[in-house]
Structure 1
Amino acid sequence: MVNFVLVAGAWLGAWAWDDVVPELRAGGHGVRPVTLSGLAEKSGVPAGQQTHVQDIVDAIERHDLRDVVLVGHSYSGIPVGQAAERIGDRLRRVVFVDSNVPVDGESFVSSWPDGRATVEASIAATGGFWAPLTAADCTGQGLGDEQAGRLVAGATPHPGATLTEPAVLGRALGELPATYVKCLLDGEEPGPDVAELLRGEHWRLVELDTGHWPMFSRPRELAQVLLDAAGT
């Protein structure tokens, strides 16, 4: 048995994994979806990026989880990557699902050369939050109307400080055992930071023919990718 700790990306909470959790539990594994501070049922809780890192570490240590497969989607790859090195030998593998990865001293918006101004303008105009996604953002991402509607309806404003504060890494990310899941409808190639990490001996690439939110569009296929990454 392994313990899957699932962290969804910007605007989303633990609820985003509802269609994936049963598939993982059917194999007899522990599954713990995490809602980060300031999101979903934790809306209103102040949060910076290091708050989110600690949210993840606390969820693992509080429940004394071992053999952890730590999964980060989209934005949450940044706090997940930092948390993965902080939990030491509790980690079995980290899985980045179409996600950003942390770079020491750089923030989420650091890697957005064209979109940074848009994100920062949204944060300024929305009282310190990144405005939640809309139906237009879901176009071309392999989502049916019901799936897109559920995604948009559940999204909450995302704490802006988590996007602009820098990551803090104690060692090279490439030393972690990792799988990177590239969702092809959201771009056929990983970004340059990820491409460099995939050249190392500890990282492997898996491709999914779906969009950026595979927990909604292809939950069974995503669950199988996670099970394979765990070596079960």
Structure 2
Amino acid sequence: MSTYILVPGAWLGAWAWRETAEALRARGHEVHALTLTGLAERAELGSTEVDLETHIGDVTGFIEDRDLHDVILVGHSYAGIVVGAVAHRIGERLSHIVYVDSAPMGDGQGMFDLLPPEAVEGLRALVAAGNGWGLPFPGQEALAENGSVEGLTPEHWKLLGELATPHPFGTYEQRLSLPGAPSGAPRKVLVACADFSGMLDAGNPWLNSLIDDSWLRRDLATGHWPMLSEPAALAEVLDRLAADR
């Protein structure tokens, strides 16, 4: 049996991992799907004060408060920057760090580094026009323009429309702080779906600079939201990591 912590990406909560978590539990694993501050059932905690350090603290605090060890820590999309920071700070408590269609960032980097300046200003305008602190869920058309939505059914879109919540924008604005040397050396794993598989196969310089031969790469033939589109296949990939010690 292994201990898994599943961290959702932007706009999502623990609910997004339900089927994957159930499949892992059916294999005998201990599974914790987290909801980060300001999202889903914790949306009432959202404010301009919620930033990247808040979300990093959510995960490190959960692990430390329960004195968990040999954890397989999984982060989807935006959560790659969060789980990467957690691994830097308390990596001795982790056996694996898994990036699901995501990747870590370095000291001083942030989510805005992935976007052109005009896109950043457009996001700021959306936040200002909304509740003042949260980036609204963009909806099906915008998501399809910016990444693969392969495998998402009308039922998935309905679920996203009902349960996705504005994402605390401070987590995009704050740059990552990784002081000192990494703590521990958990095995690094990339679960690459359509978006990341395509970038890697095309020789994307940013990704290729991060991912070397020490990484495990596992590909899933689906879009950017595998916990929804292929939850059983994702659980199978994660389950197999338990034997890789």
Q: TM-score if structure 2 supplies the norm length?
A: 0.86
Is 2:136 aligned against 1:131? yes
Partner of 1:87: 90
CA displacement, residues 9-61 of structure 1 (integer Å, 9 cap, x when unaligned): 00111111011111101111110011100101111314110000000011111
Change in Cα spacing, 1:135 to 1:186, as seen in structure 2 (3 Å) is farther
d(CA) in 1 for partners of 2:137, 2:86? 25
CA displacement, residues 79-100 of structure 1 (integer Å, 9 cap, x when unaligned): 1110122223210100000124
Tell me the CA shift for residue 169 of structure 1: 1.7
Q: Percent identity?
A: 39
Q: State which drifts further: 26-35 or 94-103.
A: 94-103
- Matched residue SS, 1:199: coil
Whether the aligned pair in 2 keeps the contact of 1:185 and 1:210 (CA below 8 Å) is: no
Is 2:78 aligned against 1:65? no
Structure 1 residue identity aligned to 2:141: A
d(CA) in 1 for partners of 2:207, 2:73? 17
Whether the aligned pair in 2 keeps the contact of 1:185 and 1:209 (CA below 8 Å) is: no
Change in Cα spacing, 1:138 to 1:88, as seen in structure 2 (3 Å) is closer
Gaps of 5+ in 2: none
Partner of 1:195: 208
| Aligned pair partner of 2:53 in 50, 57, 61 | 50
d(CA) in 1 for partners of 2:243, 2:138? 34
Partner of 1:28: 28
Whether the aligned pair in 2 keeps the contact of 1:96 and 1:181 (CA below 8 Å) is: yes
Tell me the CA shift for residue 227 of structure 1: 1.4
d(CA) in 2 for partners of 1:113, 1:214? 27
CA displacement, residues 163-182 of structure 1 (integer Å, 9 cap, x when unaligned): 11011123469x64211111
Q: TM-score if structure 1 supplies the norm length?
A: 0.91
d(CA) in 1 for partners of 2:243, 2:142? 34
RMSD: 2.2
Gaps of 5+ in 1: none
Is 2:218 aligned against 1:215? no
Partner of 1:151: 160
d(CA) in 1 for partners of 2:129, 2:217? 37
Is 2:116 aligned against 1:116? no
- Matched residue SS, 1:80: helix
d(CA) in 1 for partners of 2:94, 2:62? 13
d(CA) in 1 for partners of 2:122, 2:190? 27
